[in-house]
Amino acid sequence: MKNLKLSVLSHTQNKRTVIRVGDVRLGEEFVIIAGPCAVENEEQTLETARQVKAAGARMLRGGAFKPRTSPYSFQGLGRDGLKILARAREETGLPIVTEIMDTRHISLVSEYADVLQVGSRNMQNFTLLKEVGRSDKPVLLKRGMNATLAEWLNCAEYVLSEGNPRVILCERGIRTFETYTRNTLDLSIIPAVKEVSHLPVIVDPSHGTGRSTLIERMSLAAVASGADGLMIEVHQTPHKALSDRYQQISPDAFSLLVRKINRMKSAMDDIYRDES
């Protein structure tokens, strides 16, 4: 792997990291994480969990603590949201990915989550990174919206250097001059990560585009880019969602999408069969 001149070099170990969560082996098999932007209520979350599982999702996402631009927007259900996620896991067996925003919540969120998500806005919250670095849960580290690859990997290093080797990187779009899309999904970063790091990396086309109509093509392109998985927002009634309503897709759309993703994955495996 190429040397990115990181201050610390644990990224350049030769063996690719595989992260086991229940029976999921992220880094070894292609993994789709799906679920609502936010946990809004029990019925919505359970129904979505059942549907995304039936469609082929391997983990359930859902925010209980939401980082919102406005303090007057829905902030998430907090502990009640975490309990709902735990019920969804109990029923479907899907491991839970949920965001941690504050070091004060580490024991609370860890009680319910299988994977701790550090959001884009907190990518460089070094205190939080050190805290999740001392946890025994895998960490899904989203790329900061203005972070370079080196900055992002150094943040992963904060987690690794505290003793937690289980970091999943997630590209979710960066800020550019373009305003049609919410962010600019930087798919070139995926093969770049693969050149310089052993960590698995997934793509979030929902936040990466901010537009439900663009999710399908960007998901397929993410597969072609060599990503280890996808994280996609799914809502029962996207237009009524309490957050991110323009980018969430319906369970039916998700189900059709998974079939196309699987076909794309087989095509890519075919193309690269002799090189692995």
Judged by the rule CB under 5 A, the positions of this chain that interact with Mn ion are 37, 244
Which residues lie below 8 Å from residue 127, measured CB to CB, with a gap of 6+? 103
Judged by CB under 6 A, the stretch of 83-91, 113-121, 129-137, 150-158 that binds ligand PEP is 113-121
Contact partner, 172, from ligand PEP, Mn ion, none, Cβ < 5-8 Å per class? ligand PEP
Considering the complex, what minimum distance in angstroms separates the CB of residue 247 from Mn ion? 7
By a kind-dependent CB cut-off of 5 to 8 A, residue 16 interacts, out of Mn ion, ligand PEP, none, with: none
- The β-bridge partners of 170 are 142, 202
CA 265 to chain centre: 19
107: helix, coil or strand? helix
Structure tokens at 127: 């205190």
Q: Which is nearer to ligand PEP, 16 or 79 (CB)?
A: 79
**In the 8-state DSSP scheme, what is residue 183?**
S
Tell me how many residues contact ligand PEP (CB under 6 A): 10
Nearer to ligand PEP, 7 or 69 (CB): 69
Residues 162-191 contacting ligand PEP, CB under 6 A:
172
Nearer to ligand PEP, 53 or 61 (CB): 61
Q: Which is nearer to ligand PEP, 159 or 268 (CB)?
A: 159
Stretch of 13-21, 48-56, 117-125, 174-182 contacting ligand PEP, by CB under 6 A: 117-125
Query: Distance between CA 254 and CA 89 in Å, rounded?
Result: 19
In terms of Cβ atoms closer than 10 Å to its own Cβ (0-12, 13-18, 19+), residue 82 is buried
Q: Smallest gap, in angstroms, from Cβ of residue 148 to Mn ion?
A: 23
| DSSP, residue by residue, 203-271 | E-HHHHH--GGGHHHHHHHHHHHT-SEEEEEB-SSGGG-SS-TTT-B-HHHHHHHHHHHHHHHHHHHHH
Binding site for ligand PEP (CB under 6 A): 37, 63, 67, 99, 119-121, 142, 172, 207
